[in-house]
């Protein structure tokens, strides 16, 4: 009963946590169950049904809930499969950048000296590169593709995790529990893995959540510009790009993926901000 009351108190105080978690859960569920949510092939071309409006509008077809695009493809199917592509590619990039950046940040903050200098200069280098322009250059050379897109974004985005992890390690590495571990003969690798990493996970988790929204926007932007996810793959950015010439006559091609991006970004940002407020005791104390 006490746990239930505590849960209710948390939900009342942090409504953003409820809303953000719910939308993120829907986003993940749609990504995982895309083949079961729509039985229509998102890339099936049917010119006899091109540019059909949503089913509730005049001229719409009940078989196409959100209408069709200029090739007769089902917008609803494209939207659902586009969520899957955005989620899994973003998750892959997040796994690479957070693991690499956090590892290098812990090493840099704990060892210091020349190692710290080298890693921080690499961080400064990646921070100095404009993400969109650099990705456009790589895309112009190698063409649109999931592999080059993953590599270039992972190379550009790991530095944020490294800088945050380093700052947290510098803050806690002089703590008593670290000194005790050193005094008992624990190796540097064990101290970093068993003592430092668990104590810096909270800001890393918050950063991962907020980075998800940034990645969704980046992926969609690069696809819109023609250097991101290949046009043969369902993607929100490709949908917006394909529909921009039909904004007056067939607005649904671009508007629905725009709304999907806005809702996904809002939910991840809301979840990240609320997690930061809930998991950060100093911030929570100031807000009381």
Which DSSP string corresponds to 96-137?
HHHHHHHHHHHHHHHH-HHHHHHHHHHHHHHHHS-HHHHHHH
- pLDDT at site 286: 46
- Look at residue 2 and tell me if it is in a domain: no
Is 80 a member of any domain? Answer: yes
Task: With respect to residue 73, please indicate whether it lies within any of the assigned structural domains.
Answer: yes
How many domains are there within the chain? 1
Task: Give me the residues paired with residue 68 across strands.
Answer: 74
In 3D space, the residue among 187, 129, 189 whose CA is nearest the CA of residue 158 turns out to be: 129
In a domain, 188, yes or no: yes
| 246: number of Cβ within 10 Å | 15
Give the CA angle between residues 224, 229, 232 to the nearest 5°: 100
Residue 237 is part of which domain span?
Answer: 16-37+44-286
The predicted pLDDT at position 8 comes to 61
What's the confidence (pLDDT) of residue 279?
67
Residue 10 resides in a domain: no
Question: What CATH number has the domain bearing residue 258?
Answer: 1.10.3720.10
Any domain includes 196: yes
* Separation of alpha carbons 285 and 288, rounded Å: 5
Q: What is the pLDDT along the chain (288 residues), one digit of tens a residue?
A: 555 555 566 566 666 677 778 888 888 888 888 888 887 888 888 888 888 899 888 888 888 888 999 988 999 999 999 988 888 898 999 999 999 999 999 999 988 889 999 999 999 999 888 888 888 888 888 878 888 888 889 988 999 999 999 998 988 888 888 888 888 888 888 888 888 888 888 888 888 888 888 899 999 998 888 888 888 888 899 999 988 888 888 899 999 999 999 998 988 888 887 777 766 655 444 444
Within a domain: 4: no
Question: For residue 203, is it within any domain?
Answer: yes
- Comparing CA positions, the residue from 38, 40, 66, 55 lying closest to residue 251 is 66
């Amino acid at each position: 009963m006490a746990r239930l009351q505590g849960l209710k108190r948390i939900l009342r105080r942090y409504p953003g946590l409820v809303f953000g978690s719910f939308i993120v859960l829907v986003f993940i569920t749609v990504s995982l169950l895309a083949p079961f949510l729509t039985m229509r092939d998102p890339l099936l071309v049917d010119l006899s049904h091109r540019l059909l409006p949503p089913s509730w509008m005049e001229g719409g077809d009940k078989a196409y809930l959100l209408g069709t695009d200029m090739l007769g493809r089902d917008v609803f199917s494209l939207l659902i499969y586009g969520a899957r592509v955005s989620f899994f590619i973003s998750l892959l990039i997040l796994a690479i950048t957070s693991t690499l950046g956090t590892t290098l940040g812990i090493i840099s903050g704990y060892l210091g000296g020349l190692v710290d200098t080298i890693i921080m200069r690499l961080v400064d280098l990646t921070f100095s590169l404009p993400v969109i322009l650099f990705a456009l250059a790589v895309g112009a050379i190698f063409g649109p593709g999931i592999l080059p897109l993953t590599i270039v974004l992972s190379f550009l985005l790991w530095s944020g995790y490294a800088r945050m992890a380093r700052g947290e390690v510098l803050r806690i590495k002089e703590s008593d529990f670290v000194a005790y571990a050193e005094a008992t003969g624990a190796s540097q690798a064990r101290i970093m893995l068993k003592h430092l990493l668990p104590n810096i996970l909270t800001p890393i988790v918050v950063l991962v959540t907020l980075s998800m929204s940034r990645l969704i926007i980046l992926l969609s932007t690069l696809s819109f510009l023609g250097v991101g996810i290949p046009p043969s793959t369902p993607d929100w950015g490709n949908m917006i790009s394909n529909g921009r010439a039909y904004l007056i006559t067939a607005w649904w091609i671009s508007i629905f993926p725009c709304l999907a991006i806005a809702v996904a970004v809002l939910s991840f940002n809301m979840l990240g901000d609320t997690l930061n407020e809930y998991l950060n005791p100093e911030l929570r104390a100031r807000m009381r």
